[in-house]
Chains A and B, each alone.
Chain A
Amino acid sequence: MGDAVVTAVLDEVPVAAAAPAPASRGRLVLARLLAAPGALVGLAVVVLLFLLAFVGPYLTQWHYTDIDYSALREPPSGTHWFGTGGLGQDVYAQTLRGLQKSLIIGLLVALLSTVAAGLVGSCAGYFGGWADRLLMFFVDLMLVFPSFLIIAIISPRLQSGGWIAFVVLLAAFNWMITARVVRSMTISLKEREFVRAARFMGVRPLRIIWRHILPNAASYLIVDATIAVGAAVMSETALSYFGFGVKAPDVSLGTLIANGTDAAPSYPWMFYFAAGLLVLFVLAVNLIGDGLRDALDPTAEAGRRRSTRSERKSRQGKA
C-alpha cells in the first residue's frame, strides 16, 4: 500500500490493455522497481507495519484506553507485551494505536503535499504568464503565513473533521518550497527539445506535464516525498505536544515518543518501542523512494546494477 501511495503520484496509470510486444513505461518501471531488492524490502516492511498496526490490537486483551492499576511502569511481560506506562496503560496497545495514526498521517501528508507541489509547480512553470504569477503569488502568501499559528487557531474548530482535517492542514503548509523548486525545474525542462517536440506533435499541455515534465522531475519529488513522511510525523508530534492535533487519551507515535523521552533512561520500553517503529517506518519509506527513483531513471547506476541482470535475462528469455 505504501508503494501504491507513492507510485500513484508519479507513475503512469498502469496500463490494462493487453498491448503486444513493446512494454510501456508503466510496466517497465514496475518491473525495474520489483527487481530492486531495497525497494522490495521497504515495501515488505511497510506492509508488515500496516498489518501490525491494524491487526495487532486484536491480539491482546488490552485496549489503548485501558488502565491496569495493578501494573504501573512494569517492564515487558506475558500480560503486557511492551510493558506498561506511568498510569498503567498497556504500551503495546498504545504503540499500535499510535502507529495507526502516524502511518496514515505520514503517508497521506507526504502524498498530498507532493501532489500539490507537483501540480502547482509544474502548471505554473509550464503555462507561465498569468497562471504563473497567480500561482506563485499564492505560494508566496502561504510561505509568509505563520503556519504553526494558523494550525493552532484552526485545528480546534476542525475537531469534528477528525484526523483527515488534520492531515489536510498539515499538508497545506508543507508543499510550497517544493512547488517553487518544481516550477524552476519545469521552466528549464519546458525548453528542452523533447517537450517542444511533444508540443508540435499536438500533445495537450496537461498530458505533456504528466508524461514528460513530472517523470523528469521525479527524482526530486520522490526524495522530497520520502523526507516529508518523516517530517509530517514529527510536526504532528510538535502540534500534539502543544495540545493540538492528537489529544489524550488518543495517542500517536509522536506523543508516545514525546512522553517517553524523560522516562527513556529508567523505563526504556516506554520510549524505544515507539521510537524504533518510527525509525523503521521512515527507513522503509526511504528504501521504497530510492528504488522508485532508480526505476524511473533509466540511467541510474544503482538501478542498472541491480536490475539489468534480471532484465537482460528476461530479454534473452523472450528472444
Chain B
Amino acid sequence: MTTVTSPLLAVRDLRVDFAGNRKRARTTAVRGVDLTLARGETLGIVGESGSGKSVTALAVLGLLPGTATVRGSVELDGRELVGLPGNELARIRGRRISMVFQDPLSAFTPVYRIGDQIAEAVQVHQKVDKATGRRRAAELLDLVGIPDPDRALDSFPHEFSGGMRQRAMIAMAVANDPDVLLADEPTTALDVTIQAQVLDVLRTAQRETGAALVLVSHDLGVIAQMADRVAVMYAGRVVETAGVDDLFTAPHHPYTLGLIGAVPRLDRAGGPLVPIPGNPPALNALPPGCPFAARCPLATDECLVAEPALAGPVDHQAACIRAAQLAETRPAPSDIYPVPVFPPPATAAPRATLPPVLTISSLRKTFPVLKGNVFKRKVGEVYAVDGVSLDIRRGETLGLVGESGSGKSTTLFEILALGKPEGGRIELLGQDTATLTRSAAQQLRGQLQIVFQDPMASLDPRMPIGDIIAEPLQALGTDRAVSSARIPALLSQVGLDPAHASRYPHEFSGGQRQRISIARALAVSPELLVLDEPVSALDVSIQAGVLNLLQELKASLGLAYLFVSHDLSVIRHLADRVSVMYLGRTVEQGEISAVFAAPRHPYTRALLSAVPLPDPAAERTRTRLLLPGDPPSPTSRPTGCAFRPRCPIYATLGAEQRTPCETTPPALTEAAPEADHAAACHYPTVELV
C-alpha cells in the first residue's frame, strides 16, 4: 500500500510548542513527529488524551492558535505548508486538505442553513454560481446518505441530530474533492450505531473522492476497522508505526502492547484486563530518557538515559530499545505487564436461590413539555422511561445498555430517588419504595450507592478527599471519629495512598478520582452499587485499572452492580447479565453470554454488530448490520413496537406479518421456558442477512 516514491503528505520532525500564560513554562505538545501518507491510504493515529494526536492534525492544517509555535516540515505533494502565509493556506484548506471535527455542533455556524454552509465551501474554492453550488451541496448530502437532501439544505444545524450533523460535516469536507481528509475523533461524541453509520459514510466519501484519510482516534476498535497503517502516539511522539495487521498482531513497543491488552473486547468474557500502571507524564516536565520508562515493565537503566528514536524496517518502526526483542518473542500483553489476581468468586449458587437486591417492573416516567413564559402550560409529554423491567440478585452485575436518549439515566434517578414511581414498581432489598417512610428510606440509602460518570464533577472541588469519603457515613449518622478512622482503610482498598486523605480532588488524575468516587460509595458497605458510565471519561489504559478494581471488589465484597454503559465491550467484560434499552423500554435481557451469542432482538443484533473490534483480521470478516436513521423523539408514544421505523426485520416482512408490529407493543418473552433470556420482539427468530 505504501508507495515509497512520493508520499502525498509528508510530515517531518513536526514540533509544536504552546507559549505558557504568564509565568508558566511553555508546553511542548508535539515533539518531533514523522508521518507519511500515500494517495488513497488511511492512516490511523491512536493515542490517549494529551498524546498530541489532535494537535498534530491541526498543525498540518495550520489551524493552531497564535500561542502555538510550529516547527519542522509539512509537505503536501512537495509543497511546504509550515510558514505559508494565511491566504495561501486558506486556498489549500478545504480544497486539498479538509477536516472533519469531533464536535459537529460547534463546527457549523448555528445561524446559517446547512445548504448555504456547504455551498459556501464549494464557492470559496470553485468559480461557480449560487445555483450550481446549491446543486452540488444537494449531491453531497445525498452522497453521505441524508434523506431528502433538498429539504435538508434548508435546515439549520440544530435541526439535525448528532449523526446527521457529522454526515453533513463530512459532506462539507469532501465538497472540493480534497486529496487529504483529516478526521479528528469523528465519532467520539456519537452512539455506537450512529458511529457505525458515520464510519460507513466516511468510507464512502473516501472511495468517491479517492482521498487519503488521516483518522485520529483513541478507540483501537475504530482504528482496526478503518486504517491501513497506524501510528501510535505517546507523550507528543510517534512511538510505533506499522501496517494495521502487524501492529495488532505483533506490536514492537510495550505501550502499544499494553494498550491492546487494556481494551475490553466484545468477543471475550471477563477476567482481568492489563492495566498500564501510572499516568502519562506531564509534557512540560518530561523526565530525561524514554517518557514511557516510568510505566514500562521492561524498562532498564538504559531507558532512563536517552529517548530512543523510531527505528526498524520501514514498514514497522518502533521507538524502543527492546523493539527487536519484542518482535522476536511476541509476548501477550499479560506476559509482560503485571496482571492482578482476583479472589475466587463466592460459590456459584443457582440464581433462583439468591435473594433479590433490586426488582423493577414496568417502570414509567414522563416529563411534561411546557410552553409559555408567564403561564406555563403543558403541551405534551416526553416518555423518558416507558416500561423498564429488570432484576438484580445478590452479588450479581447487571449491565444496562442503551444509546443516549434511551432512558438509562432517568431509570437510574428513579431508582435513586427512593420514592413512589409514576408507574410500575421498584423493590429494593424486598421493600417497595413507594411505601417507604422517610427514616426507612434514609436507612435504605446506605444499601444503595452511586458512582457517577465524570470523576471531576462528582467530587466537590473544595473538599479534601477524606471528607468526601466520610460524607455518606456522616449522612447516616455515623460518629465522626468512627468515620474518619475508616478513611485510610477505604483509600487503600481502592488502591490509593491513605496519606493523601487531606489532598483536594484536583491533585489527582482522572482514574484516581474515579477510585475516590468508588471509595466514597463503598464507605457505607452498600449491597448495590449503581455505576453510571464509570469509565467512559477515562483513557483506555486507566479504564483497565478501574475495571479491574471493580471486578476485584465484586469478588471480595460480594457487591451487586447496576452497571450503566453505552460501551458493550465493557458490559461484556464485567456483567453477568445484560439488559438492553431502546426508547425507554427494555427490549432484551438475560444472561450475558446467551444474549451476546444469540441476540433475539434486532436492535441488540445491530448494537453488537456496530461495536468495532480491536482486531483488524476479525473486523474484515464481520458483516455489519447498519440501522437506518436516528432514534425517534420520545415525545410521541408510538403504537405497537417502538423500534419499528428502524427495524431491519420489519422492513422485510409482508403486509400481513407487519400487523402485530404496528398494533401490539411486544412483551418481554423468554426464549425458552426457564431460560434467562427474554426479548420484546414479535419475530425474535427471523434470520437477518
Residues of chain A whose beta carbon lies under 8 Å from any beta carbon of chain B: 15, 17, 19-25, 28, 192-194, 196-198, 200-204, 207, 211-212, 215-216, 218, 296-299, 318-319
Give the residues from 436 to 474 in chain B that come closer than 8 angstroms, CB to CB, to chain A.
441-442, 445-446, 448-450, 452-454, 457-464, 466-467, 471-472, 474
Contact of B484 with A297 in the complex, beta carbons under 8 Å: no
Which residues of the other chain, A, contact B481 by a CB distance below 8 angstroms?
A: 17, 19-20
Contact of B484 with A25 in the complex, beta carbons under 8 Å: no
Q: Is B499 an interface residue (CB 8 A)?
A: yes
Contact of A203 with B484 in the complex, beta carbons under 8 Å: no
Residues of chain B whose beta carbon lies under 8 Å from any beta carbon of chain A: 416, 441-442, 445-446, 448-450, 452-454, 457-464, 466-467, 471-472, 474-476, 480-481, 484-485, 487-488, 498-499, 501-502, 504, 506-507, 520
> What are 20 A-B pairs with beta-carbon distances under 8 A?
A20-B485, A21-B499, A21-B501, A22-B464, A24-B466, A24-B484, A193-B453, A194-B461, A197-B450, A197-B520, A200-B449, A200-B450, A201-B520, A202-B441, A202-B472, A203-B475, A298-B461, A298-B462, A298-B504, A298-B506
Contact of A202 with B457 in the complex, beta carbons under 8 Å: no
Contact of B463 with A215 in the complex, beta carbons under 8 Å: yes
B24 to chain A, nearest CB (A): 10
CA distance A22 to B450 in the complex (A): 24
Of the residues B464, B476, B520, contact of A28 by C-beta under 8 Å: B464
Please name the 7 residue pairs, one residue from A and one from B, whose CB atoms are nearest each other, closest first. Answer: A22-B501, A22-B466, A298-B504, A202-B445, A193-B458, A201-B472, A193-B457
Of the residues A19, A193, A203, contact of B454 by C-beta under 8 Å: A193
Q: Which residue of B lies closest to A298 (CB)?
A: B504
Which residues of the other chain, A, contact B476 by a CB distance below 8 angstroms?
A: 202
CA distance A156 to B474 in the complex (A): 49
Contact of B502 with A28 in the complex, beta carbons under 8 Å: yes
CA distance A200 to B448 in the complex (A): 9
Contact of A22 with B458 in the complex, beta carbons under 8 Å: no
Q: Which residue of B lies closest to A23 (CB)?
A: B502
CA distance A134 to B259 in the complex (A): 57
Q: Which residue of A lies closest to B457 (CB)?
A: A193
- A17-B480 contact in complex given A194-B458, A198-B471, A298-B506, C-beta closer than 8 Å: yes
Q: Which residue of B lies closest to A202 (CB)?
A: B445
Of the residues A24, A193, A196, A319, contact of B467 by C-beta under 8 Å: A24
Contact of A21 with B457 in the complex, beta carbons under 8 Å: no
Besides A25-B467, A296-B462, A298-B462, 14 new A-B residue pairs in contact (Cβ under 8 A), listed by A number? A17-B480, A23-B464, A23-B466, A24-B466, A24-B484, A197-B452, A200-B450, A203-B472, A203-B474, A207-B475, A211-B460, A212-B460, A298-B461, A299-B461
Q: Which residue of B lies closest to A200 (CB)?
A: B416
Which residues of the other chain, A, contact B474 by a CB distance below 8 angstroms?
A: 203
Q: Which residue of A lies closest to B444 (CB)?
A: A202
Contact of A24 with B464 in the complex, beta carbons under 8 Å: yes
Which residues of the other chain, A, contact B445 by a CB distance below 8 angstroms?
A: 200-202
Contact of B462 with A22 in the complex, beta carbons under 8 Å: no
CA distance A22 to B501 in the complex (A): 5
CA distance A279 to B249 in the complex (A): 74
Contact of B475 with A193 in the complex, beta carbons under 8 Å: no
A281 to chain B, nearest CB (A): 29
Which residues of the other chain, B, contact A197 by a CB distance below 8 angstroms?
A: 450, 452, 458, 520
- A203-B471 contact in complex given A192-B457, A319-B499, C-beta closer than 8 Å: yes
Which residues of the other chain, A, contact B466 by a CB distance below 8 angstroms?
A: 22-24
Residue among A15, A21, A215, A319 facing the most chain B CB atoms (10 A cut-off): A21
Of the residues A203, A207, A216, contact of B462 by C-beta under 8 Å: A216
Which residues of the other chain, B, contact A204 by a CB distance below 8 angstroms?
A: 475
Of the residues A193, A207, A215, A297, contact of B452 by C-beta under 8 Å: A193
Decide if the interface of chain B is mainly helix, strand, loop or mixed: helix
CA distance A94 to B302 in the complex (A): 78
CA distance A215 to B504 in the complex (A): 14
Which residues of the other chain, A, contact B488 by a CB distance below 8 angstroms?
A: 21-22
CA distance A193 to B416 in the complex (A): 13
Contact of A216 with B499 in the complex, beta carbons under 8 Å: no
- A201-B487 contact in complex given A15-B480, A24-B467, A212-B460, C-beta closer than 8 Å: no
A293 to chain B, nearest CB (A): 11
Contact of B504 with A201 in the complex, beta carbons under 8 Å: no
Contact of A194 with B457 in the complex, beta carbons under 8 Å: yes
A87 to chain B, nearest CB (A): 54
CA distance A194 to B498 in the complex (A): 22
CA distance A296 to B461 in the complex (A): 10
CA distance A310 to B310 in the complex (A): 43
CA distance A223 to B498 in the complex (A): 35
Residue among B450, B454, B460, B488 facing the most chain A CB atoms (10 A cut-off): B460
B265 to chain A, nearest CB (A): 29
Which residues of the other chain, A, contact B458 by a CB distance below 8 angstroms?
A: 193-194, 196-197
Contact of B461 with A216 in the complex, beta carbons under 8 Å: yes
Contact of B462 with A297 in the complex, beta carbons under 8 Å: yes
Q: Which residue of B lies closest to A31 (CB)?
A: B502
CA distance A24 to B448 in the complex (A): 25
CA distance A15 to B484 in the complex (A): 12
Contact of A211 with B472 in the complex, beta carbons under 8 Å: no
Of the residues B463, B498, B506, contact of A21 by C-beta under 8 Å: B498
CA distance A170 to B256 in the complex (A): 68
B448 to chain A, nearest CB (A): 8
B608 to chain A, nearest CB (A): 30
B358 to chain A, nearest CB (A): 15
Which residues of the other chain, A, contact B457 by a CB distance below 8 angstroms?
A: 192-194
Which residues of the other chain, A, contact B502 by a CB distance below 8 angstroms?
A: 22-23, 28
B413 to chain A, nearest CB (A): 8
B436 to chain A, nearest CB (A): 12
CA distance A299 to B453 in the complex (A): 22
Which residues of the other chain, B, contact A17 by a CB distance below 8 angstroms?
A: 480-481
CA distance A211 to B470 in the complex (A): 12
Contact of A202 with B464 in the complex, beta carbons under 8 Å: no
Which residues of the other chain, B, contact A212 by a CB distance below 8 angstroms?
A: 460, 463
Contact of B462 with A215 in the complex, beta carbons under 8 Å: yes
Contact of B506 with A20 in the complex, beta carbons under 8 Å: no
Which residues of the other chain, B, contact A203 by a CB distance below 8 angstroms?
A: 471-472, 474-475
CA distance A212 to B476 in the complex (A): 17
Q: Which residue of A lies closest to B445 (CB)?
A: A202
CA distance A201 to B487 in the complex (A): 17
Q: Which residue of A lies closest to B480 (CB)?
A: A17
Which residues of the other chain, B, contact A201 by a CB distance below 8 angstroms?
A: 445, 449, 471-472, 475, 520
Which residues of the other chain, A, contact B504 by a CB distance below 8 angstroms?
A: 298-299
B21 to chain A, nearest CB (A): 11
Which residues of the other chain, B, contact A25 by a CB distance below 8 angstroms?
A: 462-464, 467
Which residues of the other chain, B, contact A207 by a CB distance below 8 angstroms?
A: 475
CA distance A192 to B458 in the complex (A): 7
Q: Which residue of B lies closest to A24 (CB)?
A: B467
Contact of A299 with B498 in the complex, beta carbons under 8 Å: no
Q: Which residue of A lies closest to B456 (CB)?
A: A193
CA distance A299 to B462 in the complex (A): 9
CA distance A210 to B445 in the complex (A): 21
Which residues of the other chain, B, contact A194 by a CB distance below 8 angstroms?
A: 457-461
Which residues of the other chain, A, contact B450 by a CB distance below 8 angstroms?
A: 197, 200
Contact of B480 with A19 in the complex, beta carbons under 8 Å: yes
- A21-B487 contact in complex given A200-B416, A298-B506, C-beta closer than 8 Å: yes
Which residues of the other chain, B, contact A15 by a CB distance below 8 angstroms?
A: 480
Contact of B446 with A202 in the complex, beta carbons under 8 Å: yes
Residue among B461, B480, B484, B502 facing the most chain A CB atoms (10 A cut-off): B502
Which residues of the other chain, A, contact B462 by a CB distance below 8 angstroms?
A: 25, 215-216, 218, 296-298
CA distance A273 to B466 in the complex (A): 49
Which residues of the other chain, B, contact A218 by a CB distance below 8 angstroms?
A: 462
- A211-B463 contact in complex given A193-B454, A194-B457, A194-B458, C-beta closer than 8 Å: yes
B361 to chain A, nearest CB (A): 22
Which residues of the other chain, B, contact A24 by a CB distance below 8 angstroms?
A: 464, 466-467, 484
Contact of B471 with A19 in the complex, beta carbons under 8 Å: no
CA distance A200 to B449 in the complex (A): 7
Which residues of the other chain, A, contact B520 by a CB distance below 8 angstroms?
A: 197, 201
CA distance A215 to B498 in the complex (A): 25
